[in-house]
Structure 1
Amino acid sequence: MSESRGGDAVLVRGVGKLFGPVSAVHEIDFTVATGSVTALVGPAGAGKSTVLRMVQGLQQPTTGSIEGPGHGPAAVGAVLSPRGLHPARTVREQLRCYAPVAGASRRRAGAVLEETGLAAVAETVVAQLHPGQQTRLALAMAMLADPPLLVLDDLFAGANGIERGWLHELLRRHVNRGGTVLVSSDALADVVASADQLVVLSEGTVVWQGTPAKLRRGHPDRLVVAASPSIALATALAGRGFTDAVMRPDGRLAVAEADEATIRAVAELAQVRIGSIVADPIHPDRVLASLTKPRRHRHTVPTPNPAAYAPAPTSYGMPR
């Protein structure tokens, strides 16, 4: 990994990774801007961990290039999956053992204990911590050298609502201090609250990227209206600029952007009878499911056979 230039912390360009004949990721392109949270999202097997390990320099791309801040704990703080914690050590011992590797003092280890909310369990052995506390400890280790870039694999796994909220706050604090975060998750709902940029992977390729606001505009919450006749209501709404209305199989109209008062006012003017209006907020993970598909197999690079010609398999994943 070479060092990035300009205002970007990480640049991933045309990256592919082969493990023998198996293609884990293919033609990955995205940029992580300095001072932002970028979330790499997709179902299990989409290639997220492979990409993060290449960003950290733990693996080398087969094709393409990655530019970043360099290697070592002073440049990149990493949380891996699994967490790599010694089950028999206490929280304090785990940090003190790793501090020399990170070039950090014991005072810094104590400060990180406070910052991650682990001071109260400092003498507890790792095996007795719940998963959220183990994640905090892995984060504390990543933060010991106060690196500019945090690369966090599967950070929200097993976290409850309170723990997710705390993690969001920590990521935003790091960014507000001028740091940068690249985090992965299987669930869009886990990261959308703190991410500035989303990169969605499916079957080893990037299928969507952009801001959470852009994603929401493409998949808006809707009000589902039982109206008679529905076509007349859709026409009347379109005449007033509300063109995103979808007829459902049951005859109800799913309307985006218009509120209930507007819909009722338009219906009254158009002499359309309203039976009911029900909110249909779209869950982020419904959006993710619509963009991706579970990885049932991995793309295999064919081995040349002089006896017979076998055409190369077609690319998998959603169209880009």
Structure 2
Amino acid sequence: MSRPRPLAFAAGGLSKTFGDVAAVRDVSFVVPAGTVAVVVGPAGAGKTTLLKLLLGQLEPTSGTARVGGPGSGIRRGRQPIGAMLSPRTLHPARTARGQLRVFAAAAGVSDDRVEELLALVQLTDLAGHRIGTLSPGHQTRLALAVALLGDPPLLLLDDPTAGLTAPEIAWLNEYLRGHTRRGGTVLSTARTLSAALPIADELIVLDHGAIVYQGSPARLRRSHPDRLLVRASSPIALATALAAEGYTDAVMRPDGRLAVAEASLAQLESAAQTARVQLTEITPEHVHPDQVLATLTHRPTTPAFPAYGMPR
């Protein structure tokens, strides 16, 4: 039997209020070492506040926030943490290289490491440019370089894909995957499920400071499956035949169509033949991840990308 992985991040009953506003409400979760967990939620969901509580930048109103396992609180510094928060807190008048060197000097890191990181985030050619002239995507990459200065095993990244292009996001996801393969752990945030799914081992979905979903992307996908929308001469007979073959997730829509999950087109046609039901229309319904997020948070969400099904 394999040993359970140590915990990198944990919260227990964590809450934070500002006056009458509850920014984080009774949040509990654990993130095992060697994984990527993504806190997902729309603007104002409490994501940045949660990261600041974990970093010790804010004191919780109640509950506990722990980093690095029992007895290794963040103030004891046993495990270095690299953090990137929003806003990025970069000085607009400094150059990219100058900003990195300021943080490197404070952390006791050499200038050689600064040049290594500029190359890693592909900012060497812009290293002499003032930060205020850089694009939001370039500033995000620079903030990532700051977080990586001490080569920390634990990364807390707030909206790390902000302003990045699709190729840059693909590079970042692969880098973070490599970080976990090397034994590191990542806790990041995202405003959309479509941004989180390519990288997340675990999802923590927040709405108004409270967790509305916690678990794997696969489990979330199973609860919001793609479906085939079917018009049939007898939807009830078709649903009965499908249930007899083990396909019990069939829902009658208000327009009279039967919405069937998990069954393939061939399986659907076989059930129709068994029930002697005529199929007059079959339309695939692909559930976009951000439609799922809108359902979980009860907020309208416009998909950031063309519609596609959630990963299985």
Q: Please indicate the TM-score interval, normalised by the length of the shorter structure.
A: 0.7 to 0.9
Q: Aligned pair 1:78/2:78, yes or no?
A: no
Q: Is the 8 A contact 2:250 2:259 kept in 1?
A: yes
CA contact (8 A) 2:79 2:154 kept: no
Q: Deviations over 1:99-142 (max 9, x none)?
A: 11222111111111122222232223222322211111100000
Structure 2 counterparts to residues 174-193 of structure 1, below 5 A: 174-193=179-198
2-side partners of 1:140 and 1:48: how far apart?
21
Q: Which residue is equivalent to 2:303? A: none
Separation in structure 2 between the aligned mates of residue 202 and residue 11 of structure 1, nearest angstrom: 19
**Cα distance per residue 1:250-308 (max 9 Å; x no partner):** 1111111111121112212222111222211111111111111359xxxxxxxxxxxxx
Structure 1 CA distance, aligned partners of 2:43 and 2:226?
Answer: 26
Alignment correspondent of 2:220: 215
Secondary structure of 1:209 counterpart = strand
Q: Judging changes above 3 Å, is the alpha-carbon distance between structure 1 residues 54 and 232 closer, same or farther for their aligned structure 2 residues?
A: same
1:276 pairs with 2:281: yes
Runs of 4+ in 1 over 6 A off after TM superposition: none
Whether 1:159 aligns to 2:158 is no
Match of 1:109 among 104, 110, 114: 114
| Cα distance change on mapping 1:73 and 1:185 into 2, 3 Å | farther
1:67 corresponding residue in structure 2? 66
2:177 alignment partner, SS class: helix
Q: What residue ranges of structure 1 are gaps of 5+ in the alignment?
A: 296-320
Query: What letter corresponds to residue 15 of structure 1 in structure 2?
Result: L
Q: Aligned AA for 1:40?
A: V
Match of residue 137, structure 2, among 120, 132, 137:
132
* Aligned residues: CA RMSD: 2.0
- The match for 1:18 is 17
Match of 2:245 in 1: 240
The structure, 1 or 2, with the larger RCO (C-alpha pairs under 8 Å, 6+ apart) is 1
Give the structure-1-normalised TM-score: 0.86
User: What's 2:199 paired with?
Assistant: 194
Distance 2:164 2:236 in 1: 45
Task: Measure the CA separation in 1 of the matches of 2:139 and 2:36.
Answer: 22
Bigger drift between 150-159 and 236-245 goes to 150-159
Count of residue pairs the alignment pairs up: 291
Contact 2:5 2:32 in 1 (8 A): no
Percent of residue pairs bearing the same amino acid type: 51
How far apart in 2 are the matches of 1:227 and 1:91? 63
Q: Which amino acid aligns with 2:195?
A: D
Unmatched tracts of structure 2, length 5 or more: 69-73, 301-312
Q: Report how far residue 152 of structure 1 moved.
A: 0.9
* TM-score, structure 2 as length reference: 0.88
SS at match of 2:66: strand
Where 1:66 maps in the other structure, the secondary structure is strand
Per-residue deviation, 1:73: 11
Q: For residues 74 and 89 of structure 1, do their structure 2 counterparts lie closer, same or farther at Cα, with a shift above 3 Å needed?
A: farther
1:93-108 to structure 2, matched below 5 A, reads: 93-108=98-113
